[in-house]
A = this chain, B = another copy of it.
Amino acid sequence: MRVEGSSETAAQPGALGSECVKRVLVTGASGFIGRHTLEPLLAAGAEVHAVSARDAPLDVPAGVRWHRADLLAHGAARELIRRLQPSHLLHLAWYARPGSNLTAGVNIDWVHASMRLLDAFGEAGGDRAVFAGSCAEYTWEPRTHCMEGATPTDPATLYGLAKHRLHTMAAELAPQMGVSLAWARIFFVYGPHEQHERLAAAVARALLRGEEVACSHGRQIRDFLYAPELGSALTALLRSDVTGPVNVASGAPVRVADLIDAIAAAAGRPELVRLGAKPAVRGEPDRLTAEVKRLREEVGWSSSVGLQEGAARTVGWWRRRL
């Protein structure tokens, strides 16, 4: 056990790994995905260190140790990791501003920052890492069922390309440094803490305010995962010894309109939804779904929160905050 200082935690049932509690560093911890990982990691008995360029949100679970650092700054990752000596790393930090995240040049900076992070983690003796990849790494044919190792990686966006290049480089570096690396290909996610501009949040917030909401035709087929479930899936993946790309998704594809309808039903305002009032985004596939065999059989995790339940919880969360 590589815990430094006096902050050791007694092993608990459900601890990370098989023998002992581990020290986990979560990057991007204040982000939409990151904040959903903190509870499951604590529940797994880990000593949880969170890093973000922002201050800790007010609702960070007790027990999480917050570190403020800009991982794009030279030396910041190395300094933090030397100090903390984490055994586990869950790397979620990235540029995520809705509207420009798929095309912004800073995606390239994050490739470099992420490689430095992995390098520092390996140098400090880290054992196990999970990095966030994306369904945007796969080819976006009109109908794509994404299967790790089989579906071509041919990204349509700079974001997807940057994640893909990072995966290629990181998968080569990790074993050289003795790091076991899994690459979580995350699909579509909705739930509490979502950026206001993104689909589910925008629909829920508009309907709760009694406003009409203009949507595309809604016939696109996608895999949506309820964000707190993503947090537990990533925790399960980190605790496993599965390496390489793993789709992290519900495995239950639905129409975009189904998600919108579920939110509208939970909000009690289906009459305010205007399907077809906006054009669909050009270049995005009609059908983009996830094969979740690796996640289910090798990692041993599967989704149990259905669309209606996830939508109801999401709307409830927004209702308390409007």
Cα-based distance from A74 to B164 in the complex (angstroms): 17
Closest chain B residue to A162 by CB distance? Answer: B108
**A4 interfacial contact with B, CB 8 Å:** no
- In the complex, per-residue mask of A15-40: 1 if CB is within 8 Å of any chain B CB, else 0: 00000000000000000000000000
**A305 interfacial contact with B, CB 8 Å:** no
Contacts of A111 in B (CB 8 A): 108, 111-112
- In the complex, per-residue mask of A147-162: 1 if CB is within 8 Å of any chain B CB, else 0: 0000000010010011
Contacts of A119 in B (CB 8 A): 74
**A169 interfacial contact with B, CB 8 Å:** yes
Contacts of A12 in B (CB 8 A): none
Contacts of A108 in B (CB 8 A): 108, 111, 161-162, 165
**A172 interfacial contact with B, CB 8 Å:** yes
Contacts of A158 in B (CB 8 A): 158, 161
Contacts of A306 in B (CB 8 A): none
Contacts of A74 in B (CB 8 A): 119, 172-173, 176
- In the complex, per-residue mask of A117-156: 1 if CB is within 8 Å of any chain B CB, else 0: 0010000000000000000000000000000000000010
Contacts of A176 in B (CB 8 A): 74
Cα-based distance from A106 to B108 in the complex (angstroms): 11
**A115 interfacial contact with B, CB 8 Å:** yes
Is there an interface contact between B105 and A164, defined as CB atoms closer than 8 Å?
Answer: yes
Is there an interface contact between B173 and A105, defined as CB atoms closer than 8 Å?
Answer: no
Contacts of A165 in B (CB 8 A): 105-106, 108-109
Partner of A112, one of B105, B155, B164, B169: B169
Closest chain B residue to A75 by CB distance? Answer: B176
Is there an interface contact between B109 and A169, defined as CB atoms closer than 8 Å?
Answer: yes
Cα-based distance from A176 to B164 in the complex (angstroms): 30
Contacts of A161 in B (CB 8 A): 105, 108, 158
Cα-based distance from A108 to B105 in the complex (angstroms): 11
Q: A74-B172, A109-B168, A112-B169 are in contact. List 10 more A-B contacts (CB 8 A).
A: A105-B155, A105-B161, A105-B164, A108-B108, A108-B111, A108-B162, A111-B111, A111-B112, A112-B112, A158-B161
24 contacts between A and B (CB under 8 A): A74-B119, A74-B172, A74-B173, A74-B176, A105-B155, A105-B161, A105-B164, A105-B165, A106-B165, A108-B108, A108-B111, A108-B161, A108-B162, A108-B165, A109-B165, A109-B168, A109-B169, A111-B111, A111-B112, A112-B112, A112-B115, A112-B169, A158-B158, A158-B161
